[in-house]
Amino acid sequence: MTKIRRIPFGTINIPAEAVRLVTEALESGRVSCGKMVHQFEKEFARLHKIKHAVALSSGTDADTLAIAVLYDHGAKRGDEVIVPALSFVATGNSVLHAGFKPVFVDIDHRTLNIDPDRIEQAVTKRTIAIMPVHLMGKPADMDKVMAIARQHKLKVIEDAAEAHGGFYRDRPLGTIGDMGAFSTYVAHIITTIEGGIVITNDEETTGILRSLRSHGRACKCDACKLNVTGGFCKKRFAKPELGDIRFIFERVGFSSKMNELEAAVGLANLANYSAIVEKRRHNLLALMDGVKKLGPYLKTFSEEKHEKIGPHALPVLVAKDAPFTRNEFVLYLEKHGIDTRSLFQSMPTQCPGFSFLGYKLGQFPEAEYAGTHGLHIGVHQDINDEDIAYVLGCMEDFVRLHGR
C-alpha cells in the first residue's frame, strides 16, 4: 500500500516580509486600521484594475456592508436580494445581517452557480439587488445577470469571496457588477488571516463603505489622518454647527475595520499574488483533468473559453447512479489523509438556521443535490505534482473498489 500523505485543505504562507511588516506595525504602536490597511486597499484595487477598495474584518462583512450601501440608494428594510440557493452560509447570512430578505434561486449543476434562467421569476417589486456567487472561483453567468439587473434597475454585488484570480471575458471577477466582495480568510487565495474587502469603481460607494465599517460615522476620508499619523484632523470641526464629524453617525453602521497586522500579512501575500494564483491554477486544472478521466461516477466543472476559474478549490459531485455515497467517498479520502469539505448546502432548505424563512425541502433540487452529493478539496500552493498524483490515485482506487 502506498504511504499515506497529508493533503490539507488550506495552507498559510507567512513570508519573511509579513513578519517584518507585522513587527513594524507592532513597534509603531498604531495597530488599528491605518497606513498598512490603506496600502493593502490600494494594492488590491490595482491588481483588480479597479479604482477603489475598502478593507474589512471578514468576507461576511464585505457582503453585508456592500448590501447595506443600498440604503443610501433608497432601499428599505425588508427589501429583497436575490442569491443562489447553494453557497457558503455567509452569503445568506449577510443579506439578513444587512436587514434585507434573501430570495433564493436554484443553481445550474454544471456551473454550481445561480441559474440565470430562473432569476427573472424571482424578481418582485421589492427586489433591490442580485448577489451572484462565483462558487469555487467559477464565474457566474454575468452577461445574463447584468442584463436582468439592467432591465429591472437592480444593483449587482458579486460575492467573489472564493473568486480571487478568476476572470470573465477578460475582466477580473468582482469588477463586473456595482461592487465585488472578497474574503481574505486563511483558506482563501490572498489571506490576511481573517478579513474581507469590497472593490468598486464608484467613489461615493467607497465613502459609504468607509462610513459603514466605522459605525456609520460621517468620516469618509480614504485614509483617516488620525489613524495614520495621529495628527490633527482639520475636517473634524470644519462645520462647528454640526459638531465633531467623528461623532456624527449618518447611517446604521457596523464595527468592521481591518487591522494593521492583518493588512501586513495581506500585503506580503499580495506581493506573491501571481505566483500563488498560477500554482493553484496548475493544481486545479490537473485535478479537474484527472477527475474527468475517472469515469462517470465523479463529476467536476469545466472551464469555458470566455473564462478563467479562480483556483479556490476542486469541487466533486458524486453521480446520482453511483454505487457509493458521497459520505463513503469522503471517509475514504479522509482515511487516506486528504482533507475534504462538503460542497455547502442549499441554504434555504438544508441549513436549519434558515428554516424560519419557510422554504420546504425539494424546492431547490439542484442545490440540495450538491448538498448531499458534493465535496471540495484543496488546490493550494503547497500541493505539488506528487500530491496531485496521490489524490487522483486514491480516487481511482476508491472507484475501482466500489464501482460495479
Ligand X SMILES: Cc1ncc(COP(=O)(O)O)c(C=O)c1O
- Which residues sit at the interface with ligand X, rule CB under 6 A? 58-60, 63, 87-88, 90-91, 133, 159, 161-162, 183, 185, 196
d(CA 86, CA 135): 9
Smallest gap from Cβ 404 to ligand X, in A, equals 35
188, 215, 312, 376: the catalytic one is: 188
Smallest gap from Cβ 83 to ligand X, in A, equals 10
Between 36 and 140, name the residue whose CB sits nearer to ligand X: 140
Residue whose beta carbon is closest to ligand X: 59
Residues 6+ apart with CB under 8 A from 134: 113, 140, 158, 159, 160, 162, 163, 166, 173, 310
Between 213 and 220, name the residue whose CB sits nearer to ligand X: 213
Smallest gap from Cβ 40 to ligand X, in A, equals 15
Catalytic annotation present for 336: no
Smallest gap from Cβ 310 to ligand X, in A, equals 11
Between 132 and 207, name the residue whose CB sits nearer to ligand X: 132
Smallest gap from Cβ 353 to ligand X, in A, equals 15
d(CA 92, CA 319): 27
292-316 exposure pattern, b = at least 16 Cβ within 10 A, e = fewer:
eebeebbbbbeeeeebbbbbbbbbb
Smallest gap from Cβ 300 to ligand X, in A, equals 18
d(CA 360, CA 283): 38
Beta-bridged to residue 185, according to DSSP, are 193
Smallest gap from Cβ 82 to ligand X, in A, equals 15
Smallest gap from Cβ 16 to ligand X, in A, equals 25
Between 341 and 402, name the residue whose CB sits nearer to ligand X: 341
d(CA 344, CA 54): 27
Cα 105 to Cα 85, 132, 344, distances in angstroms: 5, 10, 15
What residue has cell string 450538491? Answer: 370
Which positions are annotated as active-site residues?
Answer: 188
